[in-house]
A = this chain, B = another copy of it.
Amino acid sequence: MNGAEALTRALLAGGVNTCFANPGTSEMHFVAALDRFEEMRPVLCLFEGVATGAADGYGRMADKPAATLMHLGFGLSGGLANLHNARKARSPVVNIVGEHASWHLESGSALVSDIEGLAVPMSDWVHTSRDASSVARDASAAITAARARGGQVATLILPADTAWSAGGQPPDAPAPPPALQTVDPGAVGAAVNALRSGEPALLLLGGRALRQGALEMAGRIAAATGARLATPYGIGRLERGAGRVPVERLPALIDPARKAFAGIRNVILAGAEHPAAMFAYPDKPRAMEDPGARFMSLAEDSACAPEALRALCGAIGANAIDPALEPREAPLAPTGHLTPDAVLQAVTFAMPDNAIIVDESISAGRNFFPLSRGAVPHDYLQLPAGALGNGIPSALGASIACPDRPVINLEGDGSAMYTLQGLWTQAREKANVLTIIFSNRRYNILDAEMKGVGISEKAGQRARRMLSLDRPDISWVDLARGFGVEAARVTEIGPLIDMVKGCATRKGPFLVEAVLP
């Protein structure tokens, strides 16, 4: 058995049965090994950022890692942006990078680069396999690392000779589960004291604390104590909609975030990190919270947060209290010409039950979250950490993780451009993804930022040209068709509503270019 086969066996033994791949020469033995195992689903991606973004979306929805497969250091580099997103979303990812045969590294080949050096800034765990006999063990360790802390990026670098050499050891057991942080009674006690103090409190939830079971506990605590429930901007995955416990989303920018924190004295973190504004500005305050606010951590490990919330719920005596649930709010069907909010209302109005919403609409879609709070139950997956090009691939990955659920991807035309190659894989895999392109033909968020940093309202023509996507206009319908994805351009709300409703029964991807003023 060669190392490539041992690797595949270890992945399958650890429950990793999907591989988003953009392989090159050094990965040919792994490709050949994939071929021998029916249980492994290889998914070809035409750019590395599609592979890592798909693994991110898959991990968020499957709660287990997919593998990637990339070619050398420069292949990895194309996938780094979406690994950055995956880390912040707490997605489990087993990120596999092929390397030259170890003895070839000193040859001076132009293709050599420092793969570990490139991987470290965007990974939680990095390891290079030494030989064929250690590949299976290393893969199991990577799976364990990927599943730790509610989801991490584990990068495994495989020199070609570790794949092709004999001596591969089949795994003798599945990858061991990661060590789980246990609930800290002291942290629970501190949270109880804070909640009983009568001072305004915010329960800040992240990671696994944003699933229904944990949210019910949080909702009981809120009902019993008056604490508010919130989650930081850049939501990995939130189960929300009518009949579920509502959670505020903290604003990304400092001014509205300070308003959200105004008066709050105690902030209890459960699977969330200390929140920070996305950007800094020359003359604005730096912290979201009031000067006297206290932060305390109920559970740093997102995987432990549900148990910690359960313990807190019991300790505060809220087990029998009904949480407030989001009422169903059936919006009226919007009509007329397209505006950004009309598009969002159409999605809210027409989306099928249990849809997965992937939101990389940046500025155009910023009202989706408030508008859709009373929509049918759905999962909400947001761009986690600002690295553009997450939406198209993560919608693909979410669809492969949940083939029976419709996926609706809200995409800015600027952000869609970074990983548009993912549309082809959506077509090949017949992924049920509706992509809605907010075609405003500009980097709208940068228009706003020009003001935020204090630049005069009327930036000159040359600067303006650096923020606009016109001249020539991009035809997303042509681009989609080029990738084999059915597509339509809409300027009116009526046909858009029909396309959103169509998600319930459609097989395969569809792209709508929503032409905005």
Contact = CB atoms under 8 A, between A and B. Distances in A.
Given A109-B278, A463-B34, A469-B46, A286 B104 contact: yes
A42 B31 CA distance: 42
Given A36-B460, A78-B49, A234-B110, A279 B23 contact: no
A72 interface: yes
A66 to B, nearest CB: 15
Contacts of A424: 472, 474
A221 B213 CA distance: 80
Contacts of A180: none
Interface string A37-71: 00000101011010000000000000000000000
Interface stretch (A113-121, A148-156, A194-202, A373-381): A113-121
A72 B107 contact: no
A420 B46 CA distance: 11
A110 B466 contact: no
B78 A446 contact: no
Interface stretch (A241-249, A351-359, A451-459): A451-459
Contacts of A72: 386
Contacts of A141: none
A337 to B, nearest CB: 24
A446 B81 contact: no
B118 A467 contact: no
B84 A113 contact: yes
A80 interface: yes
Contacts of A165: 282
A276 B107 contact: yes
A404 interface: no
Contacts of A392: none
Nearest to A472: B484
Interface string A433-450: 000000000000110011
Contact of A466 (B21, B36, B276, B452): B21
Determine the interface band of chain A, counting residues with CB < 8 A from chain B: 35 or more
Given A31-B467, A474-B482, A24 B446 contact: yes
A276 B110 contact: yes
A14 interface: no
Contacts of A279: 25-26, 100, 104, 109, 111
Contact of A84 (B44, B49, B77): B77
Contacts of A113: 84, 121-122
One complex includes copies of this chain to the number of 2
Q: Name which of A36, A78, A421 has the most chain B CB atoms within 10 A of its CB.
A: A78
B74 A80 contact: yes
Interface string A276-294: 1111101000100000000
A185 B80 CA distance: 47
A472 B428 contact: yes
A116 B247 CA distance: 37
A228 interface: no
Contacts of A29: 453, 455
A272 to B, nearest CB: 11
A473 interface: yes
Nearest to A455: B32
A84 B21 CA distance: 21
A482 B478 contact: yes
A444 B383 CA distance: 35
Contact of A474 (B232, B386, B484): B484
B277 A73 contact: no
A279 to B, nearest CB: 5
A313 interface: no
A161 B282 contact: yes
Contacts of A121: 73, 113-114, 117-118
A427 interface: yes
A369 interface: no
A161 B461 CA distance: 24
Given A78-B78, A483-B479, A120 B122 contact: no
Interface of A: 21, 23-26, 28-29, 31-32, 34-36, 42, 44, 46-47, 49, 72-75, 77-78, 80-81, 84-85, 88, 100-101, 103-104, 107-111, 113-114, 117-118, 120-122, 160-161, 164-165, 232, 234, 273-280, 282, 286, 384-387, 389, 414, 417-418, 420-421, 424, 427-428, 445-446, 449-450, 452-455, 459-463, 465-467, 469, 471-484
A-B pairs, top 5 by smallest CB distance, nearest first, are: A472-B484, A478-B482, A479-B482, A104-B280, A77-B80
Given A25-B446, A35-B460, 18 more contacts: A25-B278, A25-B452, A31-B450, A32-B459, A34-B462, A73-B84, A77-B81, A84-B113, A101-B282, A103-B280, A107-B286, A109-B276, A113-B121, A117-B121, A475-B484, A478-B479, A480-B482, A482-B482
